[in-house]
Chain A
Amino acid sequence: MPPQPFRLPQGGRIDRSRSLAFTFNGRRYDGHPGDTLASALLANGVALVARSFKYHRPRGVMSAGAEEACAFVQLGEGARSDPNCRATQIELFDGLTAASLNCWPNVQLDFGVVSDRLHRLLPAGFYYKTFMWPRRGWLTYEKLIRRAAGLGRAPSEPDPDRYEKRFAHADLLIAGGGPAGLAAALAAGRTGARVILADENGEFGGQLLWRDAEIDGEPALRWVERSLAELSSLPEVRLLPRSTVAGYYDHNFLTVLERVTDHLSPFAAPTATPRQRLWKVRARQVVLATGAIERPLVFINNDLPGIMLAGAAQAYIRRHAVRPGGRAVIFTNNDSAYETVAALSEAGVAITAVIDARAGDTAAAEACLRRGIEVLRGHAVIDASGGHALREVTVAPLDGSATALAGAASTLRCDLLCVSGGWSPTVHLFSQSGGKLAFDAASGCFIPGESRQAERSAGAARGSFDLAACLAEGHAAGLAAARAAGFAGPDSPPPQAPAQAMSPIRPLWEVPSPHQGRRDRKFVDLQNDVTAADIALAAREGYRSVEHTKRYTTAGMGVDQGKTGNLNTLAILAGETQGAIPAVGTTTFRPPYTPVTIGALAGRGVGDFYDPVRKTPMSPWHEARGAVFEPVGKWRRPLYYPGPGEGMEAAVRRECLAVRNAVGLCDASTLGKIDIKGRDAVTLLDRVYTNSWGSLAIGRCRYGLMLKDDGMVFDDGVTTRLGERHYLMTTTSGHAEAVFGWLEEWLQCEWLGLDVYLTSVTTHWATAMLAGPRAREVLAAAGTDIDTSRAGSPYMTVREGHVAGIPARLFRVSFTGELSFEINVPARYGLALWETLMAAGAAFGIEPIGTEALHVLRAEKGYIVVGHDTDGTVTPYDLGMGWIVDQKKPDFIGKRGLRRSDLVRTGRRQLVGLLTDDPAQIIPEGSQIVRSGASLAATPVPMLGHVTSSYWSPALQRSIAMALIEGGQDRQGEAVEAVLPDRTLRAVIGTSRFYDPEGVRLHG
C-alpha cells in the first residue's frame, strides 16, 4: 500500500511539506502537521481502531471531536502513558505512539469478542439477575468482570509532568471559538472589555475550519484570520486555544483546561512549560458559543468501522485532506448532510446514494439529483454489514410514521456511511450553570431555556444552526455582555453571511427493523454498547425514569458521557413509555464537559508544595543531628535523636535519663503562643478557662484548661501575665490555630464589647526548653543576666533579660517534673540560642530531647496531653482535674455543659494509672481494658476503657500506663486486663502520678 493512500493531493489545513512519523499498534505510519491521530489513521487506511467496552465489537473513528464514542486509544508508554484518549482530539506529533484499548491479543483478533457472541445472555442489567450463587460467589465473578471491564491502563509510575493553575478575572469569558464565539469576542473586545476566548481545538474557527462558507463576502477562513488578527491586537483580549471550558460553577466561576504541550512530543516540549494549565476564571459575563453535536442514527449494526457522522466526514475531507472512504452512502434526516455530499464529490469519493428519511422534496435533494446523485427519499438505512470494515448497507422505504418499513429492502455497496440524525446544541455548560433546558420540537433537540447565572448562549449552542444567525447572535451576545459588564465602547457592524433556506428535519430516533421484535442490535450508546433493545427492556421492567434507564443500561455513563447518544436514548425511552421527550426530561449534565487530568486539578500543589511542612528555626540543627521526625499537625518535630547504632528505645531511654539526672534540651517552638492585650484581657481568660485569673500577679504563670461549651476538654496550656493588661497564652502545638480562631470567634461574635486584642505570636518566638537538675548551671555557662536562683526565678514565674546575649523571656515552668526553663527568644535567634546552649551544656551532659522522651517524662508525672489522653468526650472531672474548675465563677465556656445529666452520671470513664503485674511488659497504647478474668470467647466483650498513654519509664525501671476506665477513680487497687491481639496483660489501677508525686524536683 502506498503511504497515506487516502490522503487528498491538495486542500486541507495540513502541512504536506513535513512528515510526522507515528506508531499505532506497533506499526509505523506517517502523517502531517495539522493531522489528528484519527485523521492520520484514516489517511493511512486504518479503519479498525478500537474494540468496544462490553461486546468487544470492532470500532472505527465515528466523529472528529470531543464527542467521539469509539476511537479511544492508549497514548504513549511508560510514565507518560495516557489511557482513554480520543484519537479525534490528539494532535499528531513526530514520534507519537498509540495502541488500541480493551483488546487481546490485538485489535484484529480480540478474544473478548466472545462476549458479542454471548450477547443474548448479556442484556442491560444482566448482572443484577444472576451471580448470586453460591452465597459468597460474587467475589469470584467480580474478579472476572473487573478484568473484562475498564478501558485503558493506568501508568504505574509517578507522572513526570508538571501542571499549574492560574486565576483570571474576566469581564467576559467566551466558551467556543467558532463563528458565534469569534463574533462575540470581536463585539465585546472592541468595547475595551477584558475578554477570554477559549476553544478546545488547536485552531479557532469551529466548523468554519471545514465548511464551505462565506462571511462578509469572502471565504469564511479569511474572515477567521482577520478576526484573530484583530483580537490579538486588542490588549484586553486573551485567546486560549486547546482550552476546554470544563466546569461552570456558582457565581460565574468556570474552569478552563488548557493543554499547553500535549500537541508536542514530550521530548520536544519546553521544560519550563507545564503540560496543562487549569484556569480558574471568575467572569462577570459568560457567552456560551459551544456549538452543536451531530447525532448518529440508530439502525442495525450502526457501529461498524466506516460509519461516521456526516459532519465529521466533511471535516476529514476539508480540514485534514483525508478521503474517509472510497464509496459512500449518506443517510440523513436533515439538510446538513448535503454539505457532506458536496465535500465527498469534491474529494472524489464515489457516492452510491443519499438516503433521506424525509419523504418530501427538499431543495438540497433537488440539487443532488441535478448533479446526478441518487437520492432515496423517505428511505432509511436499516442494516449495515461488514466484519472489521463496512461492506454494504441495506435500505428500505419508511412508512408515514417512520415506525415501520413500507416496502422491500435493497442493498448498496459502500465502505463509508455518513450519517446525520440532526444536531444537538452543546448545552452542557449551560446546564451546569443551573439553567433550565427547553425542548425545541421543530429542531428535535434541547436548547437553553431560563438562565440562572450571567450567561448567554449564542449560535448553534442555542439551536441556531444557520451561519448568518450564528454570527448575528454571537455579535449580539458579545455586545450585550460587554454592556452588562459596564463597557460603553462602540458597537460595530455584525459580520454577515448569506442566509440559508433550510428544510425541516424529520425526527428519526430509531430506524424501524425489518422484522418484529427486539432482537436487533441498534446501538444508542456506542461507548457503553447500549442498544435500543436495552432501553426498551429497561422501560418494560419499570426503569422508566430517565435516570433509572441511564443507570440500568449505563447509557450515557461512558467516557464520552453520552454526548452523541443521550438524546436518542431519551427519545427511544419516550417512545417506549408513550411519553413526550420533554416529559421524559434529561439526566443531569455534571462537570467536567470532557474529563480533566487529575494532575491539573492539583496543579503545583504536589510533592513538597502539598500542605507544606512547618519548620522551627532550630530545624536545620535537628536535621544535621540526624533526628527522626514525627508529624505534629503541620509541623514535623524531632521524635528522638538516635546515637550511633542506637534504636528508638535506647535513644529515648538515654534522653529521659539525661533530663532526670543531668539536663536535656527540647525544641518547644511549636507551642502555640497568643499575645493578649487590653483592658478586658483578664475577663477573657476567666471566660475561656475553667479556673480564675484575677489573682494572677504580673510575672506569674498559671496552668489553664479550656472547654468547649459542651463541657468537654478542648485545650490546655500555661498563660503568663506579662503586664498590667498583657498576657501570653500558650496552647498545645496541634491546636494553636484552632484556639486562636476560637478566641477570635467569641470576641467578635459573642463578646463584642470586650476590649481585648489578640495576636498569634507562635512563630515570632523560638522556644528552647532546658530541663533537668543541671539546667541552672547550663544557663549560667551560656551566660544570662537573669537571676535564675530558686528565689530569683521561682516556679511558675517569668523573667525578662538576656540569655547568651540574646533578649529572652525565661519561663520557669515544667512539663517534665524537673527544674525547667522555657527560654523564648525572637525566632531569628532560635538556632543561635540552641547551639549556644548545647555547647554550654556539653560539660553537664546535655542531650537533645525529642517528643517521645518528653511524653515519657510527662507521663511519669501523670500530666495529660490533650488529644492523646483526651478525645473531645472527656471532662475535667473525668481527668481527675476537678481542682481546676472554679464553680464559683458565674460562667465560663463549658460550665453549663458540664451540668448535663450524662456528664454528671457515675460510671463515666476516668483517667487513672495502670501498673502491669509484670513490670517488664508494656501495654500497647490503644489497648482495651476488660474486667479481670472476663471471658473473651463471647462477643461483644464488655470493655471498661482503654489505654491512652503507655511507656517504659527509665526512671522507675518499669512500664507505666494511663487509661480511661469506667468509674476508674473508685477502682483504685482493682486488677484488670488489657487485651492484646494474642494475649492479655494483667494490671492494677492506681494513681497516674508515678514519679515524684510530691513535686519536689520541679521546684528545684
Chain B
Amino acid sequence: MARYSIFSLARHALRHHEDWPRAWRDPQPKPAYDVVIVGGGGHGLATAYYLAKNHGISNVAVLEKGWLGGGNTGRNTTIVRSNYLLPANARFYEHSLKLWEGLSRELNYNVMFSQRGVLNLAHSDAQMDAYARRGNAMRLNGIDAVLLDRDGVRDMVPQLDFSAAARFPIRGGLLQPRGGTARHDAVAWGFARAADARGVDIIQNCEVTGILREGDRVTGVETTRGTIRAGKIGLAVAGHTGHVAAMAGLRLPIESHLLQAAVSEPLKPLLDTVVTSGAAHVYVSQSDKGELVFGGDLDFYNSYAQRGNLPAIASFTTALIALFPGFGRLRLMRHWGGVMDMTMDGSPIIGKTPLRNFYIDGGWCYGGFKATPGSGWVFAHTIANDAPHPLNEAFSLERFASGHVIDERGAGPVPGAH
C-alpha cells in the first residue's frame, strides 16, 4: 500500500498527481472464500480488515450490491460517541471510541475524527437527573463525562435560546468531550484500502440474491455475479438485515425504518460541538465544509425507500429553530432518508444465529456509524472463533427470548422508541 503523507502528496504534486495508485483493486469474484462478508459499508469493510489483521484470515470477500459505503455509511450524520448508561453498551462503544482515536493512523487514511464533544441538552430537572445518572455511570465505566449546568452550556453553545420565553429552557447538559464527528465516506474508503492491502477482495456491484444452505448450515451465496461458496458468511447490511437474513430463512426482531436527515448550505463556523436534544427530537453539528448537519425522527413506518420525506424534516427543522432561533433564516440544501434496522430494544445484534457459519452484525438503529471500528473488531472475532468476543456477548439474538434486553432508554418493545 502506497503510504499517504504530506511528503507523498508533495512528491506527487510535482508529477501533477498523475501516478497515484488505485486505493483498492477491482477483482473478479473467486469461486470460493473462507469468509464472505455481505455488505461493503463501514462495518463490512472493518470486519474484513480485522479478520485479516487480527485473525490472519485474508481469503475474504466483501460483496457490495452497489458502491462502497453507499448504504448508511454514506447517509448518516457522522456522530461518534460512547455516552451510554448500560454496561454492555458502555464497554462496547468505549472500545469503539478508542479505536476511532487511532483510526486515521491505523488505516493511513485521514477519517477526520474530530473530537469536538457531544452535548446532550437537558431541559428539565427530570432530564438533569437522568443525565446525572448516565454521566455517573459513564465515569465509573471509565468514560469521560461532564455534567454541565446552564452557564456551562451557554459557554459552549451561546446560540441556544437562553431567553425566559424559551420553549426548551436550558437546564444543563451532559457533555462527552471525546465524542465528535468523522468523515463518513473516508471511513469506508480507509477500511477498504487497508483491507485490500491485506488481500481482501472487495467486490462492488455484486448483489447477493440468495443464500445457499445445507441443512442448518450456510455454504455460500448466489449473487448477480455468480455463485460464491463460503466457509462462513457474515452479514453487515444494516438497514437490510431483515431482508437478506430472510434469504437464509431467518426472521429477526428487526423492522426497517427510514431516518431523515438534512444539511444546510455551507456557512462560516458557527457551531463547534455536536448538540442533541432528546426532548426536541433534533440533533445538529457543523461539517468541516460548513454545512449544518441535522436530523431527528424516523418516519415510523416500515420502509426500504431511502427517500426524503417532509413530515420529519418539517418537525425537526421547527425544533431546531426552537433551540436555535438564529437558524431560521438559513436554508436547507439537501435532505434524504436512510434505512435503519430498528431492533425492539434499541440495541444491536452482533453474533451467531440459529444457522451454522452464519453471523449477523445488524440492528444498529439510529447509531451504527460510531460503532464501525468496534463492531468490525468484535464481529471479526465472532466469525473467526465461532464465538462472541466478551464485548458483544450481550448483543446476542437469544436476549429477546430470555428478556435480557439492552434497553438503554427503558422504552419497551417498540422499534424506534429508543
Contact = CB atoms under 8 A, between A and B. Distances in A.
Interface of A: 53, 80-84, 120-121, 123, 126-133, 135-136, 138-139, 142, 145-147, 149-159, 161, 163, 247, 249-250, 253, 255, 280, 434, 517-519, 533, 537, 540-545, 547-548, 551-552, 554, 558-559, 561, 588, 590-592, 595-599, 601-603, 605-608, 610-611, 613, 630-631, 639, 708-712, 714, 867-868, 870-874, 897, 900-903, 924-928, 930, 936, 939-941, 943, 946-947, 979-981
A147 B128 CA distance: 34
Given A138-B112, A517-B18, 7 more contacts: A126-B9, A146-B288, A150-B267, A519-B16, A543-B23, A548-B189, A900-B403
A561 B114 contact: no
B184 to A, nearest CB: 9
Contacts of B74: 547, 551
A943 B264 CA distance: 43
Contact of B141 (A588, A871, A941): A941
Given A601-B314, A925-B132, A121 B13 contact: yes
A132 B13 CA distance: 18
B266 interface: yes
B181 to A, nearest CB: 10
B310 A138 contact: no
Contacts of A939: 139-142
B133 interface: yes
B300 interface: no
Interface in B253-302: 264-270, 286, 288-290
Nearest to A124: B17
Interface of B: 4-6, 8-10, 13-14, 16-18, 20-26, 66-68, 70, 74, 87, 90-91, 101-102, 104-105, 108-110, 112-116, 123-126, 128-137, 139-142, 147, 159, 165, 167, 169, 183, 185-186, 189-190, 204, 264-270, 286, 288-290, 307-310, 313-314, 317-322, 325-336, 399, 401-405, 407, 409-413
B167 A611 contact: yes
Interface core residue of A155, A598, A630 (most chain B CB under 10 Å) = A598
B332 A592 contact: yes
B110 A129 contact: yes
Task: Specify which of A128, A588, A592, A606 lies most central, judged by the most chain B CB atoms within 10 Å of its CB.
Answer: A128
A332 to B, nearest CB: 30
Contact of A131 (B101, B110, B309, B404): B110
Contact of A518 (B17, B125, B335, B411): B17
Nearest to A134: B105
Contacts of B102: 135
Contacts of B147: 981
Contacts of A147: 268-269
Contacts of A533: 16-17
Nearest to B158: A156
A145 B110 CA distance: 14
Nearest to B337: A590
Nearest to A247: B310
Contact of B270 (A82, A154, A542): A154
A881 to B, nearest CB: 17
Contact of A873 (B128, B289, B322, B410): B410
B140 A121 contact: no
Contacts of B8: 129
A598 B331 contact: yes
12 contacts: A84-B331, A128-B109, A150-B267, A155-B329, A541-B23, A552-B189, A591-B308, A597-B330, A601-B317, A606-B325, A941-B140, A946-B136
B140 A979 contact: yes
The 3 closest A-B pairs by CB, nearest first: A150-B290, A939-B142, A926-B132
A579 B79 CA distance: 36
B412 A599 contact: no
Contact of A610 (B101, B123, B310, B322): B322
A607 B165 contact: yes
Nearest to A871: B410
Given A132-B105, A545-B67, A150 B336 contact: no
B5 A559 contact: no
A153 B335 contact: no
Nearest to B417: A872
Contacts of B26: 542, 544
Contact of B110 (A128, A151, A591): A128
B268 A559 contact: no
B4 A129 contact: yes
Contacts of B101: 135
B269 A150 contact: yes
Contacts of B264: 595, 598
Contact of A928 (B129, B140, B401): B140
B310 A253 contact: yes
Chain A at the B interface: SS class: loop
Contacts of B308: 247, 249, 590-591
Contacts of A946: 133, 136-137
A255 B216 CA distance: 51
Contacts of A542: 22-26
Contacts of A120: 13-14, 16-17
B266 A150 contact: yes
A700 to B, nearest CB: 31
B320 A127 contact: no
A631 B4 contact: no
Contact of A83 (B265, B325, B401, B405): B265
Nearest to A153: B268
Nearest to A131: B110
B333 A598 contact: no
B412 A872 contact: yes
Contact of A631 (B24, B123, B334): B123
Contact of A710 (B16, B189, B403): B403
Given A590-B336, A602-B317, A872-B412, A158 B325 contact: yes
A133 B137 CA distance: 33
Contacts of A128: 4, 109-110, 183, 186, 189-190
Given A602-B314, A901-B403, A943 B137 contact: yes
A561 B129 CA distance: 44
Given A610-B167, A926-B129, A545 B66 contact: yes
Nearest to A547: B67
Contact of A149 (B140, B290, B310): B290
A723 to B, nearest CB: 33
A601 B318 contact: yes
Given A150-B290, A154-B327, A130 B110 contact: yes
B326 A155 contact: yes
Contacts of B331: 84, 595-598
Contacts of B159: 156
Contact of B330 (A154, A158, A552): A154
B70 A547 contact: yes
A610 B319 CA distance: 8
A630 B267 contact: no
B267 A598 contact: no
A137 to B, nearest CB: 10
A121 B6 CA distance: 9
A597 B20 CA distance: 42
A244 to B, nearest CB: 12
Contacts of B329: 80-82, 154-155, 159, 161, 597-599
Contacts of B4: 128-130, 132
B403 A897 contact: yes
Q: Which of B16, B67, B330 is the most central at the interface, judged by chain A CB atoms within 10 Å of its CB?
A: B330
B24 A561 contact: no
Contact of A548 (B67, B142, B288, B402): B67
Contacts of A158: 325-326, 328
A601 B130 contact: no
A773 B74 CA distance: 65
A696 to B, nearest CB: 28
B332 A559 contact: no
B265 A630 contact: no
B195 to A, nearest CB: 13
Contacts of B407: 872-873
